[in-house]
Amino acid sequence: MKRKIAFFVFLLAVLVSFLASCRKDFPLASFGVNYVDVNSFIPRGFPASIADLNLRADNPLTLEGIALGRRLFYDKLLSGNNQQSCGSCHIQKYAFTNGPSFNLSTGADGISRTLRNAPATFNLMWSKTFTWDGAQPNLEEQLIGPITSPVEMNQDLKILLEELRADANYPYLFKKAFGTDSITIALVQKAIAQFERTIVSGSSKFDLWLQRKVNLDSFEFAGFMLFDDQKKGDCNHCHSKGGTFTNFDFKHNGLDTLTVGSNPDVGRYGITHFGFDFMSFKTPTLRNIELTTPYMHDGRFQTLEEVLDFYDGGFHYNKNLDVNMALLPKHRLTANEKKCLIRFLKTLTDVEFINNPVYSDPF
- Residues contacting ligand HEC: total by CB under 6 A: 52
Pick the closest to residue 164 from 178, 151, 152, 145 (CA basis).
Answer: 178
DSSP conformational letter for 251: E
DSSP state of 295: B
Neighbours of 360 (CB within 10 A): 14
Neighbours of 296 (CB within 10 A): 18
Work out how close the CB of 5 gets to ligand HEC at its nearest, in angstroms, rounded to a whole number.
56
Determine which residue in the list 142, 194, 347, 349 makes contact with ligand HEC, applying CB under 6 A.
142
Q: Does 139 bind ligand HEC (CB under 6 A)?
A: yes
Q: Does 62 bind ligand HEC (CB under 6 A)?
A: no
Nearer to ligand HEC, 28 or 346 (CB): 346
Applying the rule CB under 6 A, the residues between 185 and 224 that interact with ligand HEC are 192, 196
Residue 90 sits in the site that holds ligand HEC (CB under 6 A): yes
Q: Nearest distance from residue 224's CB to ligand HEC, in Å?
A: 12
Contact with ligand HEC (CB under 6 A) among 82, 83, 131, 356: 131
Backbone angles phi, psi at 282, to 5 degrees: -65, 130
Q: Which residue's CB is nearer to ligand HEC, number 297 or number 346? A: 297
**CB of 179 or CB of 313, closer to ligand HEC:** 313
* Maximum C-alpha span of the chain: 91
Q: Which of 36, 177, 222, 296 binds ligand HEC (CB under 6 A)?
A: 296
Contact criterion met (CB below 8 Å) for 342 and 305: yes
Q: Give least dist CB 128 to ligand HEC, A.
A: 10
Residue 197 backbone dihedrals phi, psi, to 5 degrees = -65, -25
**334 exposed, middle or buried (CB, 10 Å; 0-12, 13-18, 19+)?**
exposed
Q: Which is nearer to ligand HEC, 210 or 309 (CB)?
A: 309
For ligand HEC, the binding residue among 255, 291, 348, 354 (CB under 6 A) is: 255
- Assign residue 223 a region: left if phi > 0, alpha if psi is -120 to 50, beta otherwise? alpha
CB 132 within 8 A of CB 119: yes
40-59 residues in contact with ligand HEC (CB under 6 A) are none
CA atoms within 13 A on the CB side of 305: 3
Give the C-alpha separation, 241 to 239, whole Å: 6
Residue ranges that bind ligand HEC, judged by CB under 6 A: 73, 78, 84, 86, 88-90, 105, 107, 114, 116, 118-119, 121, 124, 127, 130-132, 139, 142-143, 146-147, 152-153, 192, 196, 233-235, 237-239, 251, 253, 255, 281, 283-284, 286, 289, 292, 295-297, 307, 311, 322, 324-325, 341
